[in-house]
A = this chain, B = another copy of it.
Amino acid sequence: MPEQARPILAHDLARSLGGVYQGPEGLVLSGVATLEEASKEDLSFLTNAKYIGLAKESKTGCLLIAPEHRDTFEGPKIVVQTPYLALARAVRLFYPGQESEAGVSSLAFVHPKAWVAPSASVGPFCVIEEGARVLERARLVAQVFVGRNVIVGKACLIYPHVSLLDGTILGDRVIVQAGCVVGSDGFGFAFDPDSKAYEKIPQVGHVEVGPDAELGACTTIDRAFMGRTLIGEGTKVDNLVQVGHNVQIGKHCILVSQVGISGSTKIGDHVTLAGQVGVVGHIRIEEGVVVGAGSGVHGDLKAHRTYWGFPAVEYKRALVRHGALERLPELRKRVFSLKQRLEALERRLEEGGCGHSEDPG
C-alpha cells in the first residue's frame, strides 16, 4: 500500500536526472521497481555489474544504467553517471509525497512562551514547552515532545512519539524517525564508598544535531554531562542505536542499526559503523574508517582503514586470524601427530645407540 506514483515521460525524467535517454519517443513511465518485479510501465535500475544478466531478462520499460554498461542492455534506457543516486532522485519524482497543511492542531499543547513558525505543521497531542522554537516548514507529525528551549530547524520532519528533550538543537532538514529519544540523561554515576550506592551526576549539557542528519526509530542520543553531544551534518543513524554522552560524531557518517557508542568517543567524518558494532568510551575513530558488522572496538582506529572482529583489528589481519581459527582443529591434530613422530625419533635414537648417551631432556 505505497503511495500512488505519478506518471512521467521518460524523456523528461532523463533531463531531470541529468542523463541521456535512448528509446522510443513518448514513452511514459508510471513507477519504479526492481529488475525482477518491474513491468513494461516501470523504471528499473542497474547499480551493480553482476545483475547485467537479470537486466536482460527483466520486463522493465526503461533502465537507469551507467555509461560503462550501456551496451549490455538493448531496451529503452537512461544513461547516468551514478545510477543509484539517479534512482534516489527518480523515486522522489515519482512519489512526491503528500503535503501536510501548515498550522498547529487544536489538540496540541504549545506553551505561551514557545514559538512555532506559521509555515510549520504541528499534529495532534504534540507538546511544545517553554522557550522552544519550531522553524519554518518543520513538520511534527503527532504526539511529539519538544522540551524547553529546543530548536527544531527549518523543514525538519519529526515522526510520532519522538522526544526532543530540553535544550536539543536540530539543524535544518533533520529527519527523526518514530520513537527516537534525543537528550536523555547521560549515564553518569559516582560510587559512594560509605553508602555503597551510586549517586547520580546531573547531566546539564545538551545534544546538537547538524543539518541533513537522520536519526532512526527508537534510537537514543544522550545529552552531554557538560557541553554538547554532537551528531554531524549529513550523518545518518539507523534504528536502535545508542550514542553516549559527550560523543562527537563527524559529518556524513553511517551508523547502522543497533550500534552502541560509549561516552566521550570522537568519530571523524565519513566513518561507517556496520550493524551491532560496539565502541568503548574515550577513544578516537579517525575519518573514513569502516568497521564490519558485530565488531567490538576497544581502541583508537586509524583513518581510511577497515576493521573487523571482536576485538576489532585491521580487516586483513582479522581474516588471517579468522582463517587460522577455522583451521585450528586441524592444527591440533597436526601437532599431536608431530609429537608422536618426534617421540618415535627420540626412541629410535635412544635404542639405536646413535650419538652420545646424554639424556635428550
* Residues of A participating in the B interface, judged by any CB pair closer than 8 Å: 1-3, 5, 32-34, 37, 82, 84-85, 87-89, 91-92, 95, 97-98, 105, 107, 109, 123-125, 127, 141-143, 145, 148-149, 159-161, 163, 165-167, 169, 175, 177-179, 181, 184-185, 187-193, 196-202, 204-206, 212, 214, 216-220, 222, 226-227, 234, 236, 238-240, 242, 244, 252, 254, 256-258, 260, 262, 270, 275-276, 278, 280, 293-294, 296, 298, 310-311, 320-322, 324-329, 331-332, 334-335, 338-342, 344-346, 348-349, 351-356, 358, 360-361
A126 to chain B, nearest CB (A): 9
A206 to chain B, nearest CB (A): 5
Write 5 A-B pairs (CB below 8 A) sorted by A numbering. A179-B218, A198-B234, A198-B254, A218-B219, A310-B310
- Which of B97, B198, B205, B242 makes the CB contact (< 8 A) with A240? B242
- A179-B181, A324-B332 given as contacts; is B356 within 8 A of A351 (CB)? yes
Collect the chain B residues with CB atoms within 8 Å of residue A184's CB. 159, 177-178, 216-217, 239
Determine the distance from Cα of A149 to Cα of B192 in the docked complex, in whole angstroms: 34
* CB nearest neighbor in B for A196: B252
- A145-B143, A190-B84, A355-B348 given as contacts; is B217 within 8 A of A220 (CB)? yes
- Which of B175, B294, B361 makes the CB contact (< 8 A) with A340? B361
- A95-B204, A145-B160, A341-B342 given as contacts; is B222 within 8 A of A239 (CB)? yes
- A2-B205, A220-B239 given as contacts; is B294 within 8 A of A310 (CB)? yes
Question: Do B341 and A351 touch across chains, with their CB atoms under 8 A apart?
Answer: no
Question: Do B161 and A3 touch across chains, with their CB atoms under 8 A apart?
Answer: no
Question: Do B260 and A260 touch across chains, with their CB atoms under 8 A apart?
Answer: no
Question: Do B159 and A201 touch across chains, with their CB atoms under 8 A apart?
Answer: no
Secondary structure of the A contact surface, majority rule: loop
Question: Do B202 and A91 touch across chains, with their CB atoms under 8 A apart?
Answer: yes
Collect the chain B residues with CB atoms within 8 Å of residue A342's CB. 338, 341-342, 345
- A95-B202, A178-B165 given as contacts; is B242 within 8 A of A257 (CB)? yes
- Which of B1, B190, B262, B310 makes the CB contact (< 8 A) with A169? B1
Determine the distance from Cα of A326 to Cα of B326 in the docked complex, in whole angstroms: 14
Question: Do A294 and B278 touch across chains, with their CB atoms under 8 A apart?
Answer: yes
Question: Do A329 and B324 touch across chains, with their CB atoms under 8 A apart?
Answer: yes
Determine the distance from Cα of A11 to Cα of B273 in the docked complex, in whole angstroms: 48
- A88-B199, A179-B161, A202-B91 given as contacts; is B276 within 8 A of A189 (CB)? no
A296 to chain B, nearest CB (A): 4
